[in-house]
Amino acid sequence: MGKVKTRDRILDVSLQLFNRLGEPNVTTLLISDELEISPGNLYYHFKSKSDIVEELYGRFDHEMNDLLAVPEDAEITLDQQNFFLHLLFETVARYRFIYQDLVNVLSRYDALQSPFRRLLKRKQKAFRTICESFRHQEMMQISGEELAALCEQLTLTACYWTSYDSLSHLQERDRVDPGRGVYQMLRLLLPYLGEPEREQVQLISRAYLAD
């Protein structure tokens, strides 16, 4: 019933435009045009463009940190991990503007630098925790050396897959399918899984390819 507040509409539309066109290509004028409000009005709600970017980043950071709260000593199941990966890629896709022009965004919005690095470390840590849980449950055979490289690879893929994938599938730029990213992640784990789990993950991963 209650109509959406202008402030929130600004954030929503900005996010869509940032993702579709790249943040540096989106001017405050374009945002207000798209909303059919005046630029002055936009500046009534946000004192600068960086305020919009930083608030959007804040939401991303918050969602990701919730997601990455992986319990340290839990026995993580394959299904849980799957669900986790799905949410992860869905979230990254929804805020993909951050990764699409990462160096530029981080350099122009100084305030994002350290939160971003902290998040990266947390992501890496989450993957390590998951793999170690698998190892502990004897679902995974992996040496320390292999584990380190695998976690780097998982983190790299979590960050950049969405951008990479949209290079090939540039049609319909608004909807991004997280499935292909999850598939790629499962493929990375596969060689280190024990026999029964390998079969299971292979089946799950194929289902992701289907859509």
Partner DNA sequence: GTCTATATTAGGATAGAC
Partner DNA sequence: GTCTATCCTAATATAGAC
Of these, 8, 12, 20, 41, which contacts DNA (CB under 7 A)?
41
Rounded to a whole number of angstroms, the distance between the first and last alpha carbons of the chain is 35
Calculate Rg over the CA atoms of the chain.
19
Least Cα distance to 151 among 135, 138, 137 occurs for 135
Q: Which stretch binds DNA (CB under 7 A): 13-21, 45-53, 97-105, 148-156?
A: 45-53
195 binds DNA (CB under 7 A): no
Q: Which of 22, 39, 115, 179 binds DNA (CB under 7 A)?
A: 39
Task: Tell whether residue 74 is a contact of DNA (CB under 7 A).
Answer: no
Residue 83 binds which one of DNA, a second copy, none, with CB within 5 to 8 A depending on kind? Answer: none
**Which of 16, 22, 28, 200 is the binder for DNA (CB under 7 A)?**
28
Contact residues: a second copy, CB under 8 A? 21-22, 24-25, 100-104, 107-108, 117, 120, 146, 149-150, 152-153, 155-157, 159-161, 163-164, 167-168, 183-184, 187-188, 190-192
Alpha helices in the chain (DSSP H): 6-21, 28-35, 39-45, 49-67, 78-94, 97-100, 102-108, 113-136, 144-168, 179-189, 195-210
Distance CA 74, CA 132 (A): 10
Q: How many residues bind DNA (CB under 7 A)?
A: 19
Closer to DNA by Cβ: residue 26 or 150: 26
User: Least CB distance from residue 167 to a second copy, whole Å?
Assistant: 6
Interface with DNA, residue 107, by CB under 7 A: no
CA distances from residue 124 to 49, 119, 120, 135 in whole angstroms, order as listed: 31, 9, 6, 17
- Residue closer to DNA by CB (options 32, 205) is 32
For residue 37, CA distances in Å to 8, 40, 54, 104 come to 13, 8, 21, 28
Number of alpha carbons in the 13 Å side-chain half-sphere of residue 92: 31
Q: Which residues bind DNA (CB under 7 A)?
A: 5-7, 27-29, 36-41, 43-45, 47-50
